[in-house]
Amino acid sequence: MKDNTSKILIFNDKEYPCCTSLTMGVIGGKWKTVILYHLQTTQLRYSELRKVMPTVTERTLSLQLKSLEEDGLITRTVYTTKPPLKVVYSLTDFGKTLIPVVKAIADWGDQVAKDVVKK
């Protein structure tokens, strides 16, 4: 029997034509996997994220963090009421389900890279 239908996948009200494009919709973009990579084993403050990702702008980092939070992958916790603020980001349980994916992505990048040390 011929199947003239096509299956659409849905996550957070967005439609995707393929399971891989769904995942890429969530962790795609230039910086999201980098953030998740650094949060794999430890929580980090905003300023610590900036240190390990020196080439991202504040605006972009802020937007990407907000997007990851909206998708339920990370949590933002504020530890002070008055400035100086202490804000910490960490993976949620749902975010932790992405660790195998992030590891696979990181490992492949490691293996194929020629690395160069810059001052």
Among 2, 37, 59, 96, binds its own copies (CB under 8 A): 37
**117 sits near its own copies (criterion: CB under 8 A):** yes
Cβ burial of 36 (10 Å; 0-12, 13-18, 19+) is buried
Q: Which is nearer to its own copies, 28 or 76 (CB)?
A: 28
Note whether 102 and 36 are within 8 A (CB): yes
Q: Which stretch binds its own copies (CB under 8 A): 42-50, 57-65, 77-85, 92-100?
A: 92-100
Work out whether 46 is an interface residue with its own copies (CB under 8 A): no
Asked if 58 interacts with DNA (CB under 7 A), we say: yes
Instruction: Give the neighbor-by-neighbor strand order of the sheet with 74-78.
Output: 44-45, 87-91, 74-78
Enumerate residues 6+ apart whose C-beta is below 8 A from 63: none
Q: Does 86 bind DNA (CB under 7 A)?
A: yes
Q: Does 9 bind DNA (CB under 7 A)?
A: no
Contacts 24+ apart (CB under 8 A), 81-87: 86/45, 87/45, 87/46
46 binds DNA (CB under 7 A): yes
**Applying CB under 8 A, which of residues 24, 43, 66, 76 lies at the interface with its own copies?**
24
